[in-house]
Amino acid sequence: MSQSVIYSVFFALSLLCIAVTGICVFKNKNDPAVPIIVKLIIGIYFAAFCFCLPVDFAAGVEEFGWDCIEKFFISIHHALQIFVVNLDYSHITDTVQSLENEALRNIYLDYGAVLFVTAPFLTFSAVLTFFKSFLNGIGYNLCRKRPLYIFSELNGHALILAKNILEKEKDSKLKPMIVFTDVIFGENETGYELTTEARKIKALCLKTDIAHLNIISKKQDTEIFLIGEDESENVRQASIITGALNQSVKKLNVKIFVFASKESSRYTLDSLDCTNLLNQDTVSQNKANGFKLRRINCIRQLVWRTVPDMDIVGKSRDGVISVMIAGMGSYGLEFFKMLVWFCQIDGCKLEINLFDKTPKSEYGGLESVIARQCPELIEKNGTEYDIMMFDGIDFTTDGFAKLLEGSGSVSERLRRTDIAIVCSGNDDLNIEMSVYLRELFDKCNHVVMAKDKETDIENEVPDIYSVVYDSRKYGSVSGGSKAEFLKNHQEQKYHIRFIGSVDEQYSYDNIYSAEKEADAFIYHNKWSKTAEKTNEERLKFDRFEFYRQSSMATAVHQGYLRGAGIYGRIECLCGRNDDMCECENCVRRKRMEHARWMAYMRSEGYSYRKERFDRAKLHNDLIDWGELSKSEHSKD
């Protein structure tokens, strides 16, 4: 076989190695299992090996024999030397010059020159990546005083939260240290953009999985955000980290936030063993820097922050609070559940209308979905609240317009809507639906715009809230402020309030508030009548989400009642202001709180039975105020 043929074959094999590498990189560019730089180095190395092999054989082997093994290993060595710039190119040129085919000779040498430049660049990139990780690791280990905020993943949500933390703590003496873990550097365009943004905020990026990160030895306050898109992975990491902390009990000043909205995650996290941590931390738990394990449901927490700002009582007419929810997805259900208990206010009656585009079938509809989660809410409909459900109403048709503009009790009911919440699950559709609702209600209410375009319409109904997740869209339509609204070509404001942006959901205030938790614990601890039980109640409150959520709901409602001046109108007539007072106003407050608590428990899926059994979600106190014992009256 001639030299030209041998060179041609190995040249083709070398090109094939590069082609296969390109295909592997392109097809699996989003697979972090093997970094792209590693794939490139492997592919180019085999291409360099195929390039060197005929050169080394031509340099001193005329017949096949044991010398071939030696030349084979020399080719492996020479391919390695190309990557570390340790192979003299004259070794190649001197040998290839003997080729009779001038075209092949020139192509081979030009191709070799490209390999000799490309391979060292890959080596440099790999070394640089290693040193980035190494220096970041040193930075993490040397960080001893600055408060640590550690994220389990580098993604868009984590970056938003990290930037919000830095903005929130910009005036602190000790600047926060942001750490992203499980980072694959620049594996694709998105990854490159994320790592670039992380560098801009001077964050440390570590390749280490957060579950294997050295956290116990860190002395400073540490907050951990398990914020990956895979909820199961977040919970798994929480289990590993909590288990390690609980076993060592050397670090108590740590908060773990697990982003998980599924109810299954709640039960899993409640079942984790953190007894040693909580027992050791009963004193520091009264401070903001104690051990905490919290499940974060961003949608629920945003809804709980939004509803108190809606001025429910101020918008009610003739003692009736009329609310409409268009779209019963995750947002719609959370708004519905909260409004049912939040609107239990003395002198007000809740009227709520629910719309969903899914048509009712033989297997059930919207009522069936709600009854599955909150059976007694449906059973008690018409007493403490008035719920009407509309299945199969698609706002891309005129179905709702016919209902609103028609005659009869249903149309009258819809026309007295005070607050409309639009949450279909799509930003563009939500904005379109909100504008459409404003148009329809303007027609029905015979609204006339003031001659002065800058003058807002007085007594305009309803207030419309639209869920817009995309922050850029949120900013373009409202300037990032709830006080500014969409306008038409006549400069007429639509007065549509935008809520639910990704920036709101992943703001630190939405995720955690030490002040609100402190207020919630005060209400939780009131159930215990002796000071000796305070630590016991603290353990229950910090370990189980049920107690925290229930007490937080109380704190949110009580805060609204006081802020809105409702409690000011029913002050204690005796001036005692204690739990045992039985004056008319104190009883009114207790009855109101009991009604709210019952609605809350029903929204959580509880029903009444004489004997309490929480596993079946049955509670013996889900009865009217008059049927409660005096001891239960004092608790309310």
DSSP characters over 308-323: GGG-HHHH-BTTEEEE
Token pair belonging to 537: 């109640």
Tokens matching residue 160: 């938003």
Q: Is pLDDT larger for residue 135 or for residue 505? A: 505
Give the model's confidence band at 240: pLDDT under 50 very low, under 70 low, under 90 confident, else very high: very high
Q: Which residue from 173, 257, 253 is spatially nearest to 218, judged by alpha carbons?
A: 253
**Short-list 565, 562, 599, 569, CA closest to 584:** 569
Higher pLDDT, 283 or 219: 219
Where does the pLDDT of residue 172 fall: very low under 50, low under 70, confident under 90, or very high at 90 and above?
A: confident
Give the whole-number percent of the chain exceeding pLDDT 90.
39
Q: Is the pLDDT of residue 204 over 50?
A: yes
The reported pLDDT for the residue numbered 70 is: 75
Using DSSP's 3-state secondary structure scheme, residue 492 falls into coil
Kindly report which listed range (48-62, 326-340, 612-626) carries the lowest average pLDDT score. Answer: 48-62
The model's confidence at residue 481, banded by pLDDT at 50, 70 and 90, is: very low
The tokens describing 22, both together, are 């390109």
The domains of the chain are located at 3-128, 143-295, 303-505, 513-635
How many other C-beta atoms can be found within 10 angstroms of the C-beta atom of residue 100?
A: 9
pLDDT digits (tens, 9 = 90+) for 315-350: 888 889 999 999 999 999 999 999 999 999 988 899
Q: What is the pLDDT at residue 180?
A: 93
Q: How confident is the model at residue 604 (pLDDT cuts 50, 70, 90)?
A: very high
Q: What is the pLDDT of residue 137?
A: 61
The secondary structure element, H or E, covering residue 382 is none
Q: With a cut of 80, say whether residue 583 has pLDDT above it.
A: yes
pLDDT of residue 346: 86
User: For all residues of the chain together, what is the average pLDDT?
Assistant: 84
Is the domain spanning 303-505 CATH 3.40.50? The answer is yes
Please determine, for residue 31, whether its predicted confidence score (pLDDT) is greater than 60.
no
Q: What pTM was computed for the model?
A: 0.80
- Asked if pLDDT for residue 636 goes beyond 70, the answer is no
- CATH fold match for the domains 143-295 and 303-505: yes
Residue in 517, 540, 557, 556 with CA at minimum distance from that of residue 614: 540
Q: What pLDDT is attached to residue 483?
A: 46
Q: For Cα atoms 328, 329, 332, give the angle at the middle one, nearest 5 degrees.
A: 55
The average pLDDT across 35-56 equals 82
List the one residue out of 293, 285, 279 whose CA is nearest residue 521.
285
Was domain 143-295 assigned CATH 3.40.50? yes
pLDDT value at position 14? 85
What is the mean pLDDT of the segment spanning 175-198? 81
d(CA 441, CA 400): 11
Q: What is the mean pLDDT of residues 295-313?
A: 92
- What pLDDT sits at residue 479? 47
- How high is the pLDDT of residue 173? 84
In this prediction, residue 170 carries a pLDDT of 86
d(CA 270, CA 328): 28
Give the confidence band of 222 by pLDDT, cuts at 50, 70, 90.
Answer: very high
Give the pLDDT mean for 477-482: 50
pLDDT at position 456, please?
55
Mean local confidence (pLDDT), 15-40: 75
DSSP annotation of 571: -
- The Cα–Cα gap between 130 and 461 comes to 61
Helix (H) / strand (E) element for 83: namely helix 67-83
DSSP string, 340-404: HHHT--TT-EEEEEEEESSPPBTTB-HHHHHHHH-HHHHHTTTTSEEEEEEET--TTTTHHHHHH
pLDDT band at 184 (very low <50, low <70, confident <90, very high): confident
**Considering only 161-165, 478-482, 588-592, which range has the smallest mean pLDDT?**
478-482
Sort 375 into a burial class: Cβ within 10 Å, 0-12 / 13-18 / 19+: middle
Mean pLDDT within 198-218:
88
Scanning 143-230, the segments in alpha helix (DSSP H) are 156-168, 189-200
Predicted pLDDT at 478: 53
Q: If residue 361 lies in a helix (H) or strand (E), which one and from where to where?
A: none
pLDDT on residue 480: 45
Who contacts 24 (Cβ-Cβ below 8 Å, separation ≥6)? Answer: 39, 43
Q: Which of 79-93, 352-366, 588-602 has the highest mean pLDDT?
A: 588-602
What is the structure's pLDDT at 224?
Answer: 96
CA separation for the pair 173, 188 (Å, rounded)? 37
Torsion of CA 514, 518, 520, 525, to 10 degrees: 150
Q: Could you report the per-residue pLDDT of 385-435, keeping only the tens digit for each?
A: 999 999 999 998 999 999 999 889 999 999 999 999 999 989 999 999 999
Across 18-27, 249-258, 371-380, 530-539, least confident range: 530-539
Average the pLDDT over each of 39-53, 339-353, 475-489 and give the range with the smallest value. Answer: 475-489
Distance CA 163, CA 157 (A): 10
Mean pLDDT across 90-109: 79
Are 333 and 604 in contact by the 8 Å Cβ rule? The answer is: no
Question: Strand pairing partners for 465?
Answer: 421, 497
Confidence of residue 135 (pLDDT cuts 50, 70, 90): low
